[in-house]
Amino acid sequence: MTDEALGWEVVARDGEARAGLLRTRRGVIETPVFMPVGTLGSVKGVRFEELEAEDLDARIILGNTYHLWLRPGADVVRACGGLHRFTGWRRALLTDSGGFQVFSLSHMRKLSEEGVEFRSHTDGRLCFLSPEVSMETQAALGSDIVMAFDECPPGKAAHEAARASLELTARWARRSRSRFDELQREGADAGREESNTRQSIFGIVQGATHLDLRRESLERTVEVGFDGYAIGGLSVGEEKSVMYDVVEHVAPLMPAGRPRYLMGVGTPEDLVESVARGVDMFDCVIPTRNGRNGQAFTSRGRLNVKNARWTADTRPLDETCACAVCRRHSRAYVRHLYMTGEMLGAVLLSHHNLAFFLDTMRCVRQSIRSGEFTRFRREFLEGINSGVG
Ligand SMILES: [Zn+2]
């Protein structure tokens, strides 16, 4: 059953870095891949036509189960035929489990073996999320890749607390898998079409920054058996070198015959450094979030449009970027829009930032395939550290 839902093939390697093909039921995705985040069923400020256009060409985006479960609610999305039909996005969709948001956004959490009780961050009502509820919600959303429900301990969790958390996550992984399989048998997957296979499901490795616990969590997750494996619980406030250490230690131990996904990471530098350590998939809100805050990611580092030095600068945000924004608009214009509160300012910055992230991954894939990843990595890091002129 596992093999029909998600195809995975490594087509080239360069050190630990892998270039692969991920065959989902809604299209083939070249990896390493960056997945733009569509929190509430929208990648903030970017239309689907633009995500599909050549300069972005996003093959897969993410939806947040927690947010969609609260608003508009799983029943509404199911009644509208699943998240693809509800939103009009036709390419692949991955949904997270809701766990991370419950642990980072909600108030008054009460954690038990059964699940987690909390108050919604939007209206304060009492909610309960468990592995079963998460699987049922993700079936109603009908995403192509479902994530197992995990507990996310704080990044700096002490050994004992991190162990208890990973034990719970391991039990929840089993419950997630078992409810997921039932739902597929029952035909509850709203995204299923006649020509399609079932949803696929990824397990999540926890263990905070403790390498022995990460190893143990990985073994126990693989024991349950998933279509792919993710590293969760990083980029939550730990030192960057600690995150790289965990990834360097865990990724190569993850099953080579399955895709590896580093959740919620990160900056362009983080992506390239994590690919070098064996990761295939990423997601992060920073291209759009930082765009809304006036920041552009460029091949020479970050550019803040609030800086007065760009007031009459007729160059594009990034002189080497071929995106629709850089082909047409100047720094001066984007700055003007941003400074006057025109919504187009955030839209253009979000578009360019996504183009930069997606194009960086395109270059990463090409360099792995041509055996030049080491050189690409060095030049890319030199570039983004050189400073915007
Ligand atoms: Zn651009």
Q: Give the tokens for residue 3.
A: 């093999």
Confidence label for 23 from pLDDT (cuts 50, 70 and 90): very high
Exposed, middle or buried by CB within 10 Å (0-12, 13-18, 19+), for 153?
Answer: buried
Tell me, in angstroms, the distance from the centre of ligand 1 to residue 318's CA. Answer: 6
Q: CB atoms < 10 A from the CB of 239, how many?
A: 11
Q: How far is it, in rounded angstroms, from Cα 166 to Cα 209? A: 12
Pairwise pLDDT comparison (213 vs 123), residue with the higher score: 213
Tell me, in angstroms, the distance from the centre of ligand 1 to residue 283's CA. Answer: 19
pLDDT for the residue numbered 1: 41
Tell me 37's DSSP state.
Answer: E
Tell me, in angstroms, the distance from the centre of ligand 1 to residue 317's CA. Answer: 6
pLDDT for the residue numbered 109: 82
Tell me, in angstroms, the distance from the centre of ligand 1 to residue 351's CA. Answer: 7
Q: Is the pLDDT of residue 108 over 70?
A: no
Least confident of 102-111, 184-193, 236-245, 332-341: 102-111
pLDDT for the residue numbered 276: 98
Whether this prediction's pTM lies above 0.95 is answered by yes
Tell me, in angstroms, the distance from the centre of ligand 1 to residue 340's CA. Answer: 21
pLDDT for the residue numbered 255: 98
Q: Is the pLDDT of residue 2 over 90?
A: no
pLDDT for the residue numbered 104: 84
Tell me, in angstroms, the distance from the centre of ligand 1 to residue 316's CA. Answer: 7
pLDDT in tens, 46-85: 999 999 999 999 999 999 999 999 999 999 999 999 999 9
Rounded to whole angstroms, the maximal C-alpha distance in the chain is 61
Q: Which residues are placed with Cβ below 5 angstroms of ligand 1, an ion?
A: 321, 323, 325-326, 352, 355
Tell me, in angstroms, the distance from the centre of ligand 1 to residue 362's CA. Answer: 14
Q: Is the pLDDT of residue 203 over 60?
A: yes
- For the chain, the distance separating the N- and C-terminal CA atoms, rounded to the nearest angstrom, is 54
pLDDT in tens, 295-304: 999 999 999 9
Outline where DSSP puts E strands in the chain: 7-14, 17-24, 27-31, 33-38, 60-63, 92-95, 107-111, 116-119, 126-129, 145-147, 200-205, 228-231, 260-262, 281-284, 295-298, 301-304
Across the range 125-145, mean pLDDT stands at: 97
Cis ω on the peptide bond leading into residue 153 (within 30° of 0)?
A: no
Tell me, in angstroms, the distance from the centre of ligand 1 to residue 234's CA. Answer: 28
pLDDT for the residue numbered 179: 98
Tell me, in angstroms, the distance from the centre of ligand 1 to residue 209's CA. Answer: 36
Q: CB atoms < 10 A from the CB of 249, how many?
A: 15
Give me the active site residues, please: 96, 283
Tell me, in angstroms, the distance from the centre of ligand 1 to residue 323's CA. Answer: 4
Across the range 99-122, mean pLDDT stands at: 87
The answer to whether 16 and 279 have CB atoms below 8 angstroms apart is: no
Q: Give the tokens for residue 274.
A: 């994590």
Tell me, in angstroms, the distance from the centre of ligand 1 to residue 355's CA. Answer: 6
Mean pLDDT computed over every residue of the chain:
96
Residues in CB range of 275: below 8 A, 6 or more apart: 17, 32, 364, 368, 373
**Beta strand 116-119 pairing with 107-111:** antiparallel
Across the range 260-283, mean pLDDT stands at: 98
Q: Give the tokens for residue 385.
A: 């550290």
What are the backbone angles phi and psi of residue 29, rounded to the nearest 5°? -120, 125
Task: Looking at 187-210, list the stretches that DSSP marks H as alpha helix, in order from N- to C-terminal side.
Answer: none
Q: How far is it, in rounded angstroms, from Cα 286 to Cα 289? A: 5
Q: How far is it, in rounded angstroms, from Cα 376 to Cα 373? A: 5
Tell me, in angstroms, the distance from the centre of ligand 1 to residue 79's CA. Answer: 38
Tell me, in angstroms, the distance from the centre of ligand 1 to residue 304's CA. Answer: 14
In which residue are the tokens 């499901």 written?
A: 201
Across the range 348-356, mean pLDDT stands at: 98
